[in-house]
Amino acid sequence: MKHIDFSNSPRIDQVGVDDRIARITARSIKKEAKMQGLMMTLSMIDLTTLEGADTEDKVKQLCYKAHHLHDTIDGLPTTAAVCVYPNFVKLAVNELKGTDVKVAAVATAFPSGQSSLEVKLLDTKLAVDNGAHEVDMVISRGKFHSGEYNFVFDEIATIKEACSKDVRLKVILETGEIGSLDKVRQASDIAMFAGADFIKTSTGKISPAATLPVTLVMLEAIRDYYYETGIMIGMKPAGGISNAKLALQYLLMVKETLGGKWLNNQYFRFGASSLANDVLMQIAKQKSGIYQSQDYFSKV
């Protein structure tokens, strides 16, 4: 594998990051732009169920919701994807046949990443062979914290090779365990140079999960990588994004950091199932002038 000295990743100006976030969160969004942003947000969500108690019926209900949002409000898009464990991929693919909704599968000993490469490759192969369009892998945080950056790089590159040409690889950094913003930048660089199609903040199992400062640092890493290589890398903040107001702030940050080319579900996703219902409530409010009860929308 090609090895790069990742110890020289740019250092992060914490004060500068905090200032950018303060300016973004102070912005107000007008009605027409807000509706456009809400529709965009809905189309970028990866509906997710990753629990030990998952059943086939729960996965079927999640798939139904992903491409039947228009049953609640006319004119709504589908969500971008559903994300499940590898053993549910075949079921999800069958349920979503004929739709534009992708099936993503977590792999590589999700969420801990604590297993052998052999097991991680089998996990990935199960997802790909069953028809997954996307694989969400977790990095080996223990190796990262031990300074074994080439190990992390090689493992990502090997998993990428195990994905077929059309399967996109999202690399989860688990930023709540990575530590400082400098480390987030370093891990982002490793993932992108190793072949990630997306970089993703979190598994949703660790707190804190996605935050605006962490996502800004990752977006800036994507921008710099694009300037260096001309390759567009996707971004997925996951966990902790539960309301539409916060989601719109993320979209503002994407536009101001990367530009409009990234404002689509090919290059930006939200890993936040609970976000969908709040976005639906906000869209209903924009259309009717009144809030619907949360009970009006499916929680699955």
pLDDT digit string (tens) for 135-169? 999 999 999 999 999 999 999 999 999 998 899 99
Give the span between the Cα atoms of 295 and 131, in whole angstroms.
34
Q: Tell me if 2 is assigned to some domain.
A: no
Q: How many CB atoms lie within 10 A of CB 4?
A: 15
Note whether residue 247 is domain-resident. Answer: yes
Query: For 66-80, 133-147, 173-187, which range has the lowest pLDDT when averaged over its residues?
Result: 66-80
CATH assignment of the domain containing 160: 3.20.20.70
- For Cα atoms 248, 254, 256, give the angle at the middle one, nearest 5 degrees: 105
Distance CA(170)–CA(172), nearest Å, equals 6
Q: Is the pLDDT of residue 289 over 80?
A: no
Q: Which are the contacts of 159, defined by CB distance < 8 A and separation ≥ 6? A: 107, 108, 120, 121, 124, 135, 137, 169
Out of 65, 102, 170, 200, which one is annotated catalytic? 200
Q: Provide the pLDDT for residue 293.
A: 56
Residue 121: domain span: 9-296
Q: Count how many domains the chain has.
A: 1
Residue 96 forms part of a structural domain: yes
Instruction: Indicate which residue of 102, 170, 183, 236 is catalytic.
Output: 236
**Other C-beta atoms lying within 10 Å of the C-beta of residue 52:** 5
Q: Give the C-alpha separation, 273 to 83, whole Å.
A: 10
Whether 290 shows a pLDDT value over 70: the answer reads no
Whole-prediction pTM value?
0.93
**Known catalytic residue: 100?**
no
Listed in order, strand segments (DSSP E) in 94-212 are 102-107, 134-138, 168-172, 198-200
Identify whether 4 is part of a domain: no
pLDDT value of residue 176: 96
Contact (Cβ atoms closer than 8 angstroms) between residue 250 and residue 241: yes
Give per-residue pLDDT as tens, 94-114. 999 999 999 999 999 999 999
Mark whether 165 is an active-site residue: no
The answer to whether residue 3 sits within a structural domain is no
Instruction: Please pick, among 136, 189, 197, 278, the residue that the annotation labels catalytic.
Output: 136
236 is catalytic: yes
